[in-house]
Amino acid sequence: MMHAEHLIAQAREGDTAAQGKLVQAWYKRIYNFTFKFFYDHDMAMEVSQKTFIAMHRNLGALNDTARFKSWLYTIAVNCCREELRKKKNSRAVSLHDFRPGEAEESYRWEVSAERNENPENLLRQSELADLLQTCLMQLSEEQREVVIMKEYEGLKFREIAEALQISENTVKSRMYYGLEALKHMLERKRITKETIGYEL
Amino acid sequence: MNYKPDEATLVSFLYGELSGEELRQVEEYLQKNPDERKRLEEWSFTRSTLSSLADKEVIAPPIFLEGSPRTTPFWKESYFRLPLGIAASFLFMIVTAKIMGLSLRYSGNELRIGFGATESKQEVPAVTREQVGEMINQSLQQNNHVLQASWNEDRTMLQKSIQKNLASASGKIDKLVKTASSANQEQVKRFVNQMQNENLKLMKDYMQLSATGQKEYIESLLVDFSKYLQEQRKQDIQLFQAKVNSVESNTNQFKQETEQILTSLIANTGTTNQRRN
Buried b (16+ CB within 10 A) or exposed e, B102-137: eeeeeeeeeeeeeeeeeeeeeeeeeeeeeeeeeeee
Cα–Cα distance for residue pair A136/A143, rounded to 1 Å: 9
3-class state of residue A117 by DSSP:
coil
> A141 and A93 in one domain?
no
Residue A103 pLDDT > 50, yes or no?
no
Cα–Cα distance for residue pair B38/A183, rounded to 1 Å: 13
Cα–Cα distance for residue pair A129/A179, rounded to 1 Å: 17
Where is B111: in which H helix or E strand? strand B111-115
A168-188 vs A157-164: helix axis angle to the nearest 10?
100
Between B34-38, B165-169, B260-264, the lowest mean confidence (pLDDT) is in B165-169
Between A51-65, A75-89, B60-74, the lowest mean confidence (pLDDT) is in B60-74
Residue B129 pLDDT > 50, yes or no?
yes
The answer to whether B67 faces chain A, any CB pair under 8 Å, is yes
Burial classification of residue A108, based on how many CB atoms lie within 10 Å of its CB (0-12 exposed, 13-18 middle, 19 or more buried): middle
> A132 and A89 in one domain?
no
B233-274 per-position pLDDT tens digit = 999 999 999 999 999 999 999 999 999 999 888 888 877 777
DSSP annotation of B225: H
Cα–Cα distance for residue pair A143/A129, rounded to 1 Å: 19
Buried b (16+ CB within 10 A) or exposed e, B5-15: bebbbbbbbbb
Are B55 and A28 within 8 A, CB to CB?
yes
> A200 and A125 in one domain?
yes
> A153 and A101 in one domain?
no
The CATH number covering residue A46 comes to: 1.10.1740.10
User: What's the domain count of chain A?
Assistant: 2
Rg (Cα) of chain B, in Å, rounded?
A: 70
> A91 and A40 in one domain?
yes
Query: Is the dihedral angle over the CA atoms A20, A26, A28, A31 positive or is it negative?
Result: negative
Domain, as residue range, for A58: 1-105
Instruction: Kindly write down the DSSP assignment for every residue of B43-64, as one continuous string.
Output: HHHHHHHHTTSPPPP-PPPP--
Angle at B62 between CA B60 and CA B68, to 5 degrees: 115
**Chain B residue numbers touching A199 (CB-CB < 8 A):** 52
Residue A1 Cα distances to A8, A91, B231, angstroms = 11, 45, 128
- DSSP bridge pairs for B102: B115
> A85 and A17 in one domain?
yes
Are A152 and B55 inside 8 Å of each other by CB? yes
Q: How many pairs of residues across A and B have Cβ atoms under 8 Å apart?
A: 95
Q: Which of A51, A74, A105 is the last residue of a domain?
A: A105
Burial classification of residue A125, based on how many CB atoms lie within 10 Å of its CB (0-12 exposed, 13-18 middle, 19 or more buried): middle
Is pLDDT larger for residue A158 or for residue B98? A158
> A95 and A24 in one domain?
yes
Average pLDDT over residues B59-65: 69
Q: Which of A81, A105, A129 is the last residue of a domain?
A: A105
- DSSP bridge pairs for B274: none
Are A199 and A124 within 8 A, CB to CB?
yes
> A156 and A194 in one domain?
yes
> A95 and A140 in one domain?
no
Are A182 and B48 inside 8 Å of each other by CB? no
- DSSP bridge pairs for B114: B103
The answer to whether A31 faces chain B, any CB pair under 8 Å, is yes
Interface of B with A in 27-66 (CB under 8 A): 42-43, 45-58, 60-61, 63, 65-66
Q: Which of A86, A105, A124 is the last residue of a domain?
A: A105
Are B46 and A182 inside 8 Å of each other by CB? yes
> A117 and A90 in one domain?
no
Residue A42 pLDDT > 50, yes or no?
yes
Nearest to A132 among B8, B49, B57 (CB): B49
Are A43 and A76 within 8 A, CB to CB?
no
Average pLDDT over residues B163-181: 81
> A140 and A127 in one domain?
yes
The CATH number covering residue A121 comes to: 1.10.10.10
Between A81-95, A139-153, B137-151, the lowest mean confidence (pLDDT) is in A81-95
> A166 and A101 in one domain?
no
Residue B119 pLDDT > 70, yes or no?
no
B34-50 vs B20-32: helix axis angle to the nearest 10?
110
